[in-house]
Amino acid sequence: MRWFLVLCLAAAVLMPAGPSLSAQGDAGAGEHLAQQWCAACHVVSENQANAATIGVPSFFDIAANPDMTEAKIATFLADPHPKMPDMGLSNPQIRDLAAYIVSLGR
């Protein structure tokens, strides 16, 4: 019985830490970030009636644009155009947001 407990503990410690720590963006985390940081200006999800700002592309428009690949979106977010504020996003946040936006186009 004691060995069983030790094995369980070892398994818990050695478990991979989850998708958000991998190199790939996590679209679910990106959606959460988008609702928190981007929804003031962009339409970021289907259950958002409209964005506060007119003339800002919705995330669906961005996802539908074949030029906006995940890498392009990430580059933009690391160094946004003057019209959009630099939100000081971390690299994992950028990856998650880019993965989320691209996932909307599928």
For position 95 contacting ligand HEC by CB under 6 A, the verdict is no
Compute the distance between CA of residue 86 and CA of residue 80 in angstroms, rounded to an integer. 6
Question: Directed axis angle between helix 70-78 and helix 91-104, to 10°?
Answer: 140
Binding residue (CB under 6 A) for ligand HEC from 62, 63, 99, 102 = 62
**Structure-token pair, residue 63:** 């996802």
Q: Binding pattern to ligand HEC, positions 20-39, x when CB under 6 A?
A: --------------x--xx-
Compute the distance between CA of residue 2 and CA of residue 46 in angstroms, rounded to an integer. 51
Interface residue list for ligand HEC (CB under 6 A): 34, 37-38, 40-42, 53, 56-57, 62, 65, 68, 73, 76-77, 81, 83-85, 87, 89, 97
